[in-house]
Amino acid sequence: MLSYRRWLAPALLVAGFVLPIHAVVQDRQDAAAEKDKKETKKDLPLEPDRTIEFDTTEGSWISLDVAPNGRTIVFELLGDLYTLPIDGGSATRITSGMPFDSQPRYSPDGSKIVFLSDRSGDENIWIANADGSDPKPLTKGKNVRYLSPEWTPDGKYVVVSKSSGPPQGVQLWLYHVDGGTGVNLTGSEERRQLNPLGAAFGKDDRYVYFAERTNAGSVYNQMTFRWQLGLYDRLTGENYRMSDELGSAMRPVLSPDGKWLVYATRWDAQTGLRVRNLQSGDDSWLIYPVQRDDQESSSNRDLMPGSSFTPDSRALITSYEGKIWRVDVPSGEATPIPFSAHVDEKIGPRIRFEYPVDQGPVRAQQIRYPTLSPDGKKLAFTALDRVWIMDYPGGKPRRVSSMDVGEHQPAWSPDGRYVAYVSWSDQAGGEVYRVPAAGGQPEKLTRVSSFYSEPVYSPDGKRIVIVRGPRAARQEDFSPAGRGGQSMDLVWIPADGGDAASITPYRGEGRPHFGKDPNRIYAWEGRRGLVSFRWDGTDRLTHVKVTGYKNPNAEQANPAQDVIMGPDGEHAIALRQSR
């Protein structure tokens, strides 16, 4: 009876529903074709317009990997991928064209490679055959940044650092090779500051090594190092710190036999590779120096180029000084692996714009430190590194001096008769000057050259308060304020010139000023708030604290940029987010 029903159902379908099924199939085919048409997308919007062609035996920032059979190296060069015999020779290009392909890694069986490419218009993870053929996207992200993809040892997944912006920042993601939306491995609340880069596996596939950020904040112009090795336990979901290097620890590489860990670190302004014996814990230099790391920038291609152990764990294949090297482990003996590559780069059209060049008088594009006279009839300001005074609002500006030094931060005397300002020269340092507002020769008020800033007259006009700092610290300072680092103090000088008298060490982020009480000096000290103190720096009071935007990744909101007490001593004005 069962077999009869099985036979009967198809027969009824064939006999009574031939045309409807055909119609449904046709509709589905049309829908699929329409979907394919909509999803069809050109690789890149730019059309190649020019070609750059040459042969080279060197490259920069070469990320590479060694095939599981130990016979071939795959590496990136100028946005294309190449393969090379392990002993060197002529490199074979396996990807080409306008896309930028980078950071290739072999699958555990050696049949595939995973790499990053922007051929879809956005940089994504791609998988291709080992010879570069049949490339297919693993991800289809938009406005997302991926870094350093790596296969899991079973070849079923790819682990990658993915940045999708706040609040998550950079996290490790796991993608199945057949596709899908992926799984965030390290994106829990307590780990959102890790920013893990350069996932790596060793003998035990339970653990993922990486480099993690140890402090939040901007990555640009760092004065301290912030990266250390981390370890993620795939079984428990826990992560652990694995290093404490003064110059950071970056881009871990593990040997297949589980004995060696190689990582990069900075020492004495140069980057080298250290090797750790995972059995004994001993740690020593492998080779120094090598390729410069990318700690001071956004590390958009990781902190170091990718490297790889040979399958027998006896050597590290890496790149530095424009070459590919075999470095024996643990001796550090380095042997170059010579290569020659033919570069044939297709590039987009040359972009040219016509820019008008002004002829004749120069028009100042930036006015700095504008300040009105007490009666509101004149304006003093800095433009083109010189102090100017003009009738406000429609007068003609005039220079206050003929000096050939930088002139900054003009300040009016309470009676409007004088304008004080600071000067700066890399050769001579800085001074404080005053000049009659009606015109005349500038008069130097300071007795010792230093770095001076933020001059302000006392309400009675008898003294000038200024911030003072060492000249050398100012010349070497890279802080946004540009005030000469932290070695600053607040001093005053007589309004007609003389020796400087100390008030207090100064850590203010805003300019000193006065309120209603002429015996108290106010200063904005960032997170400490708006404070005031007496002429000898005593009797400190905190009046108000003002915060601004809180980044989701930050522990607390940013303080206001500046807060100034009003003349009545009851109101203050704040600058927050440049508003």
Q: What does the pLDDT read at residue 11?
A: 32
State both tokens at 178.
């057949």
Query: Span 415-439, mean pLDDT?
Result: 94
Q: What does the pLDDT read at residue 527?
A: 85
pLDDT per residue as tens digits for the range 226-274: 899 999 999 998 889 999 999 999 999 999 999 999 999 999 889 999 9
Query: Span 416-421, mean pLDDT?
Result: 97
Q: What does the pLDDT read at residue 174?
A: 96
- CB proximity list for 461: less than 8 A, separation 6 or greater: 413, 414, 415, 495
Is 346 in a helix, a strand, or coil?
strand
Q: Has residue 38 got a pLDDT over 50? A: no
* CA-to-CA separations, 78 to 215, 414, 486, 491, in angstroms, rounded: 32, 63, 43, 56
64 and 307 in contact (C-beta within 8 Å)? Answer: yes
Query: DSSP code of 71?
Result: S
Distance CA 267, CA 246 (A): 8
At residue 20 the predicted structure's pLDDT band, cuts being 50, 70 and 90, is very low
Q: What does the pLDDT read at residue 186?
A: 86
Q: Which CATH superfamily groups domain 55-324?
A: TolB, C-terminal domain (2.120.10.30)
Q: Has residue 42 got a pLDDT over 70? A: no
Query: Span 550-574, mean pLDDT?
Result: 85
pLDDT per residue as tens digits for the range 318-370: 999 999 999 999 999 999 999 999 999 988 888 888 988 878 888 888 999 99
pLDDT per residue as tens digits for the range 142-185: 989 999 999 999 999 999 999 876 556 789 999 999 999 999 99
- CB proximity list for 306: less than 8 A, separation 6 or greater: 63, 64, 65, 103, 105, 148, 198, 251
**Which residues share a beta bridge with 275?**
262, 284
Q: Is the pTM of this model over 0.85?
A: no
> Could you give the maximum distance between any two Cα atoms of the chain, in Å?
118
Q: Please name the helix (run of DSSP H) or strand (run of DSSP E) that holds residue 106, with its range, or none.
A: strand 101-106
CATH 2.120.10.30 residue ranges for the chain: 55-324, 364-506
DSSP state string for 148-171: EEEE-TTSSEEEEEEE--TTT-EE
- Look over the chain and give the mean of its residue pLDDT values, rounded to a whole number: 87
- CB proximity list for 120: less than 8 A, separation 6 or greater: 41, 43, 137, 140
* CA-to-CA separations, 182 to 124, 144, 195, 380, in angstroms, rounded: 13, 14, 17, 60
Overall size of the chain counted in residues: 579
pLDDT per residue as tens digits for the range 375-390: 999 999 999 999 999 9
In Å, how far from its chain's centre is CA 91? 33
Distance CA 239, CA 79 (A): 34
Higher local confidence (pLDDT), 558 or 10: 558
* CA-to-CA separations, 2 to 6, 9, 15, 506, in angstroms, rounded: 6, 11, 20, 94
* CA-to-CA separations, 340 to 66, 74, 93, in angstroms, rounded: 18, 13, 11
pLDDT per residue as tens digits for the range 433-452: 999 999 899 999 999 999 99
Q: What does the pLDDT read at residue 18?
A: 34
- From the CB of residue 277, how many other CB atoms can be counted at a distance below 10 Å? 14
pLDDT per residue as tens digits for the range 483-512: 545 578 999 999 999 999 999 998 777 889
CATH class of 364-506: mainly beta
Spell out a b/e string for 155-179, using b for 16 or more CB atoms within 10 Å of the CB, else e: eebbbbbbbbeeebbbbbbbbebee
Alpha-helical (H) ranges within 17-127 are 18-39
At residue 16 the predicted structure's pLDDT band, cuts being 50, 70 and 90, is very low
162 and 144 in contact (C-beta within 8 Å)? Answer: yes
